Amino acid sequence: MAILKPSSRTKPTSKPRSPIFLITLTISLITIIYLSSTLISNNGSNPLEKTRKFTSSHLNNNNEKFLYWGNRIDCPGKHCDTCAGLGHQESSLRCALEEAIFLQRTFVMPSRMCINPIHNNKGILHHSENVTSEEMWAASSCAMDSLYDLDLISSKVPVVLDNSKTWFRAMSTGMKLGSRGVAHVEGVSRVDLKERSQYSKILLINRTASPLSWFMECKDRNNRSSVLLPHSFLPSMAAKKLRDAAQKIMALLGDYDAIHVRRGDILNTRKDRFGVARTLHPHLDRDTRPQFILCRIAKWVPQGRMLFIASNERTPNFFSPLSTRYKLAYSSNYSSILDPVVENNYQLFMIERLILAGAETYIKTYKESETDLSLTDDRKKNTKVWQVPVYTKEGC
């Protein structure tokens, strides 16, 4: 009879872990710890940021869909090296915000705005040949949240900055979702973006497929049915420190009237083939001179009133003749309030706009609507017809 011997099972010796496995495990743990700490503490981020975790389920949540128009404002293709001025830039930005409202998407706001050196004598521009384009852009721009209160804007249309963690997470999720995550569009109407399912369910709509995105999408501003935000929207969204400075100056002014006198570069002329100087605004230079201003505003502003003047005129004491009828005030009279706040002329202009809007009687340079009071009857949006300047006027 055969005897079965008990089998002797020897316990296998454990092999050492792979170094690659240990490194991978360590990196994973560090990543988890970092993400956890980021979610718990977000003190260093933009105050508008909400901590969000994006998954494919967010494609059905309008509040978590994004609209991206690029990282520059008012950048019409080949002219991207220059800025057109705050008014033009705001027009483009307002158009993009309107599209975000229409699509019910969060707008990805550029974190910086270009500052036109013509309009910024406080700006420091690099001229060294060794400076990169990125460094030049940083030197000739300012932080978007130094101009605008993003909390106020978000009360109308949600916005996030393009350097925020929220935006980086959205991009990361969009790339993982592939065609369901990002749609690069060019020449697609906002109606199609909203109604066609191939776009409406996408996490991120990217408008930068066209190098003319800002310019091309905003050129039809005469179609009033497409205007969802008034012209006064962005001026009223000034950053809190700018609003506070304006309020302090307005309190010192008391009961006052105001005029905005736009001169400077807008008075440019060019000579025709016969050597005759011509301009796009034939009466503007005349109508914004003190003697004609006095004649124009006499029926609107009684003698003796406090008159705040905002202007880009560079000639010292240019408006002094107005003091024969009015008490004059300029932003330069309030340097103790402005100097600690203002870093560039865009910020100064935004403060002046708030002061102008708060006046008892506000007289603009151009008539922008039927109810506006204006210094000139020349059209702001000209017809590109160059005319000979006119300096005579009957009745004044």
Instruction: Please give the pLDDT value at position 180.
Output: 82
User: What does DSSP say about strands 270-271 and 182-184: parallel, antiparallel, or unpaired?
Assistant: unpaired
Computed over every residue of the chain, the mean pLDDT equals 79
Residue 15 has pLDDT above 60, yes or no: no
Compute the distance between CA of residue 70 and CA of residue 189 in angstroms, rounded to an integer.
17
CA 60 to CA 192: how far, in whole Å?
A: 17
361 exposure class (CB count in 10 Å sphere: 0-12, 13-18, 19+): middle
Highest mean pLDDT pick, 52-61, 181-190, 246-255, 363-372: 246-255
- 307 in helix, strand or coil? strand
Residue 75 has pLDDT above 80, yes or no: no
Instruction: Tell me the pLDDT tens digit for each residue of 226-282.
Output: 678 888 999 999 999 999 999 999 999 999 999 999 998 788 889 999 999 999 999
For the cut 70, the answer to whether the pLDDT of residue 82 exceeds it is no
Q: Which of helix, strand or coil describes residue 100?
A: helix
Position 65, amino acid: K
**Which run of H or of E encompasses 214?**
helix 213-218
Residue 203 near residue 64, CB atoms below 8 Å: yes
Tell me the pLDDT tens digit for each residue of 98-144. Answer: 989 999 999 999 999 888 776 665 433 333 445 454 444 455 789 99
Q: Are 258 and 363 in contact (CB under 8 A)?
A: yes
* Structure confidence at residue 249 (pLDDT): 98
CB 315 within 8 A of CB 263: no
Q: Which domains does the chain have, with CATH numbers?
A: 46-236 (no CATH), 238-374 (3.40.50)
Report if pTM > 0.85: no
Sorting pLDDT into bands at 50, 70 and 90, what band is 56? very low
